[in-house]
Amino acid sequence: MSVTIYLGRITVGQTLVGAIAMITVCLLTQFSFAGGGEHRTLQLLLNKGIITQQEYDQAVQEEERVKVEEEQRVKVEGEQRAKVEEEKRAKQGSFFTRNGLQVRLGGFAEFNFIDDNTRSFQELVGNRPVLHSNTVGGANSQFYPSPRNSRIILDVRAPEQDGIKSRLFLSMDFLGNQPAVGTSTVTEFSQMTSPNLRIFQLFFLAETPVVDVKVGQDWSRFGFMSQYSRGQVSTAVTPANMFNRWIQASLSKQLQVTESLSLTPVLSVERPPQADATLPSFVAGVQIAHSGLKAPYNGAQAAETSLRSLSVQVSGVGRRLEANSGGPTSSTGLSSQTYVTGWGVSTSLFLPVLPSKNGEIGNTAHVVMEGVTGAGIADFFNGLSWGVCSPVCGNATGTGFGGNAFGQTNIDSGLAAVSSKTGTFEAIRTTSMMVHGTYYLPDNGKTWVGGGYGTVYSSNANQMTCGTVAADASSCGGAVRTLHGIYNRESTYYGYLYHDFTQEIRMGLETNFTRTGYADGSNAENRRVMMSLYYRF
């Protein structure tokens, strides 16, 4: 009996030892497999003679390379996600909550130092003409410092309610409609130290699941304007880039066609081109974007740098320009208004030529191209008048338009006039093109350089002459328009450099060359060197 018990004890002990040994072997084997499991299949193929040692070594090297690249990709994506989250938190942190609304007060202070070889411009170049070299302003240079393009921004956002997100945006600057230096009671000192505050943008936006509605003063939807602007140092850009804001009511919605392809149709009812109008302007367009290719973009001097998708837009505008017809303004000579149709077509392209990789800003580049053609659309280009200062000329017996009290039709300069060639009221034709490129240096987007070319042309502005000397103004609706004063082409070349010293402090340097071609064949040129400092908050 005792022998049996002893043998049983031995058997149990041996069993326990064996079990422990097996578990140990299994664990060691598992660790061995874990260490060499990455190439287990290759090892089996090698052992069976299906592949050679050289092929095995090459395959192992390739697997190691792919593994390293994948680890690097995961690391970069993680860093990018962290950066996006940090920026998101920073933006959210700039808002404070009041009565359930998120409110942000921001803007920037801008200090411009401008040197021109003529006195044709102040801060704004836009599409204004360079003065003739035989005038005081065209023959003399000037140095012009100014803080007037500084801006204050109020951004109010409401919490989502019933699927509707709403926002109120207000932006004001100090480039108000103030008389120029030399006007009675206006001195350079008062203009620089007491500028007029004006509304730059003021609109509310309601985003719904079906459509987005915008009402207020903002960039015109013709040309999807602010999305294809040149981020120049020059205030309000230079010739041939559409750049203007006004009152509007618009409908739009970004529609996701595929994971990376989107379609954004737009319909907008905007301000009429004149005060004495019976119809607003109508804008319709569509933008196609592909998020698979993105590059950084700065649409304005102090704007944030953000990634923008490859995109193309096509849009059109229709409007009516009106003028009184008939004889002098008397109870027996009045007749109904006459009108012409204003129209325009715009196409623009944003092309990432060195696309961003994994959301990076540095070592990227984009090109912007824009082409516009139409008639009666000069007001979409900042400052463009073609030198046609009054739309009506002629006399009561000659053309049916006339009388020195008759010439006021409340149409902005450059939109329409009575042609000296046909004697009829016509819209002034405008055609423009521009190409612009920007490159962001490999310093995480703190430094970028850019440059480009633009030209805007009219094929019939030179037909809008009216009188030859001041004495003819009485038969010209109070206007005198000669080939020497009308310009029919304006072109520019430019280059610039920006650098962000900190998130708040930015500096911009630019040089641009502007040439105005007058209808009499003469040219006038301005060369500008400009430095701007910005404090963004």
User: Is 146 domain-assigned?
Assistant: yes
Question: Do both 427 and 521 map to the same domain?
Answer: yes
What's 471's domain CATH number?
A: 2.40.160.10
Question: Do both 339 and 402 map to the same domain?
Answer: yes
Higher-scoring residue by pLDDT: 278, 297: 297
pLDDT for 324 beyond 90: no
* DSSP one-letter code for 132: P
pLDDT 10s digits, 12-37 = 444 444 444 444 434 333 433 334 45
User: Is 84 domain-assigned?
Assistant: no
pLDDT of residue 195: 86
Identify the weakest region by mean pLDDT among 151-165, 186-200, 293-307, 337-351: 186-200
User: Is 113 domain-assigned?
Assistant: yes
> CB pairs under 8 A, 24+ apart, for 333-337?
333/396
pLDDT for 185 beyond 80: no
Domain boundary among 79, 112, 142: 79
**CB burial readout 312-342, b (16+ within 10 A) else e:** bbebebebbbbbbbbbeeeeeeeeeeebbeb
Question: Do both 304 and 339 map to the same domain?
Answer: yes
User: Is 186 domain-assigned?
Assistant: yes
Domain boundary among 51, 79, 107: 79
Overall domain count for the chain: 2
Average pLDDT over residues 330-347: 75
CA angle 6, 12, 14 (to 5 degrees): 100
Higher-scoring residue by pLDDT: 68, 393: 68
Asked whether the beta carbons of 486 and 388 are under 8 A apart, the reply is yes
Question: Do both 429 and 401 map to the same domain?
Answer: yes
Rounded to 10 deg, the angle between the 40-47 and 2-36 helix axes is 100
Domain that holds residue 27: 2-79
User: Is 228 domain-assigned?
Assistant: yes
pLDDT for 413 beyond 80: yes
